[in-house]
Structures are given as C-alpha cells and as structure tokens.
C-alpha cells in the first residue's frame, strides 16, 4: 500500500519554508519599491507551498496540469462579491477538487491577526454560498434564480447539498518568536470573551482559529505552522492543525474522488 503523502514530503515542507525566508530577505535587501512590484515580490513568498500541492496531486495519480497557480487561472466566482483570487486551485475534468489559501505573518501580530481571521472567515463563507448556488459547476444556472434554500446551514450550506464538496484549505505560516508566544490580554468593556482567549498568545489564537474554521465546516482543513526567523524548519501546536494533517486530508480526498470517478 502506497503512503498517503510523498516520501519526500518533509523535505518539500522544509524547502518551502526556506524559500519563504529567502524571498523575504531578498525583498528586504532590495528595499520597498512600492506599487505592484511589492505585491509581486510578496506574493511569491509562499510559492513553495504551491509546489507541495503539485507534489501531492501527482503522488495521488492526477496530472500536474490539474494544479492552477497563475494569477489569471486562480480566479473563482463568489456570492457576496464577483470573484476572488485564491493561491491555488485544483481542477480535474472540469470538477473543482480543491482550493488553497496560504498566508504568512512575521511581526505586527496585534495589528494583523484580526484582519487575517476576518479574511479567512469571509472568504470561506463567500466560497460556500457560491458553491451552493452552482458557481463551480454543480448547477448550470448563471444566476441564483430558481435555487431553493431548504434550511441551509449558517455560512456553509453546501454540506447539505453536495456529498462531495470541494476541499477548501487554509494555512498560516507564523513567525515563531517571543512576541508571538507571549500572553495577550483582552479588552472586555461590556461582555466577557470566551475563556480560551483570555491570556492566549497570538500563536494560540491562530490555533483556535484553525480548529474552529474546521469545526464549523468553513474549511476542510486548516493549519498553523510556526517557523523561527530565517530557519527552514517549523512546528505545529497540535497534530490536528499541522501542515502534515492538512495535506494528508487533501490526499485522502483526492484518492476518494479518483476511486469514485473510476467506478462511475
């Protein structure tokens, strides 16, 4: 029986993290140029994780051209907005198999954690409602007319309507440092926060986010990997929110989809 993930999976993860730090350092050395140049350079920091998607896709017996990563080919329709650019989409025989969002944060933890959380939640809600209304091929309607909502689940109605929904994944690569690990207080002027957030570090808050994104079925899998500054290594705070678990879940979904396709 073949392993679920490529044998060199851990090496590929290390290479992806090393490429992330190298890309950041090159950008820092050349200085901020402003405008689109900054966006292009910053957008390439996570390219190594796109290579991970390709490696797992090929390992599971799918052709490499299933993986779309160029800017013009990762645009999907939304429901609350017209479109969204994702980091990677996997499409086989006109069926949307998987969608990936890769994020990173180095420093500025207090300023960015809520923004990242809001982006992750909003993007998933938009994706699933669009999927419910047939945006990705389940139905051919070009509008929402004629599609009935029969007790749809909050934010993510697709799990009631589609037995094989796309695999939606979110990954946060977080700098592992004293600032991201220190306890952080909460302002509670009117009502108390949930106790698990009280004095939780930024890293712990990201872990809670990942756990709840999956628990509430906004994402099929979510991972938090902590990486020390300029080192091609990482660690997770729990097996359930590790990059290995995310890609194992992805591989399992790919293999299941292949079995169904071959049997049909």
What's the pLDDT at 140? 46
Burial class (CB in 10 A: 0-12, 13-18, 19+), 78: middle
The DSSP code for 218 is S
What's the pLDDT at 63? 95
What pLDDT, in 10s, does the model give residues 136-194?
985 545 555 555 555 444 566 555 556 688 999 999 999 999 999 999 888 888 999 89
Structure tokens at 58: 């090929």
What's the pLDDT at 40? 38
What's the pLDDT at 26? 83
Kindly give, in sequence order, each residue whose CB lies less than 8 Å from that of residue 85, ignoring residues fewer than 6 positions away. Answer: 71, 74, 75
Task: Specify the residue for token string 């992805």.
Answer: 250
Kindly give, in sequence order, each residue whose CB lies less than 8 Å from that of residue 109, ignoring residues fewer than 6 positions away. Answer: 179, 180, 202
What pLDDT, in 10s, does the model give residues 114-131?
999 999 999 999 999 898
pTM beyond 0.85: the answer is yes
Kindly give, in sequence order, each residue whose CB lies less than 8 Å from that of residue 71, ignoring residues fewer than 6 positions away. Answer: 85
Nearest to 46 by CA among 91, 105, 118, 89: 105
What's the pLDDT at 156? 62
Please state, in angstroms and rounded to a whole number, the distance separating the CA atoms of residues 45 and 143. Answer: 37
What's the pLDDT at 39? 37
Please state, in angstroms and rounded to a whole number, the distance separating the CA atoms of residues 51 and 57. Answer: 10
Q: Which residue ranges of the chain lie beneath pLDDT 70?
A: 1, 27-43, 138-163, 260-264
What's the pLDDT at 111? 77
Please state, in angstroms and rounded to a whole number, the distance separating the CA atoms of residues 166 and 96. Answer: 6
- Asked if 217 and 156 count as a contact pair (C-beta separation under 8 A), the reply is yes
């Amino acid at each position: 029986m073949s392993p679920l993930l490529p044998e060199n999976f851990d090496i590929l993860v290390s290479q992806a993290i090393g490429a992330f730090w190298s890309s950041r350092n090159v950008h820092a050395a050349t200085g901020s140029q402003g405008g689109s140049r900054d966006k292009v350079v910053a957008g390439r920091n996570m390219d190594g994780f796109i290579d991970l998607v390709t490696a797992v896709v090929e390992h599971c017996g799918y052709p490499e051209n299933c993986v779309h990563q160029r800017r013009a080919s990762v645009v999907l329709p939304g429901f609350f907005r017209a479109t969204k650019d994702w980091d990677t989409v996997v499409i086989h025989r006109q069926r949307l198999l998987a969608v990936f969002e890769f994020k990173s944060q180095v420093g500025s933890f207090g300023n960015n954690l809520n923004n990242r959380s809001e982006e992750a939640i909003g993007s998933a809600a938009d994706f699933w409602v669009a999927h419910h209304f047939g945006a990705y091929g389940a139905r051919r309607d070009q509008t929402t007319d004629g599609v009935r909502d029969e007790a749809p689940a909050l934010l993510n109605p697709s799990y009631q309507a589609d037995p094989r929904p796309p695999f939606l994944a979110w990954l946060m690569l977080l700098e592992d440092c004293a600032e991201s690990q220190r306890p952080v207080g909460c302002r509670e002027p009117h009502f108390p926060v949930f106790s698990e957030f009280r004095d939780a570090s930024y890293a712990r808050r990201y872990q809670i986010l990942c756990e709840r994104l999956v628990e509430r079925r906004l994402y099929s899998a979510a991972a938090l990997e902590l990486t020390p500054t300029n080192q091609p290594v990482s660690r997770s705070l729990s097996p359930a929110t590790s990059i290995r678990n995310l890609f194992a879940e992805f591989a399992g979904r790919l293999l299941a989809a292949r079995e169904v396709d071959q049997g049909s």
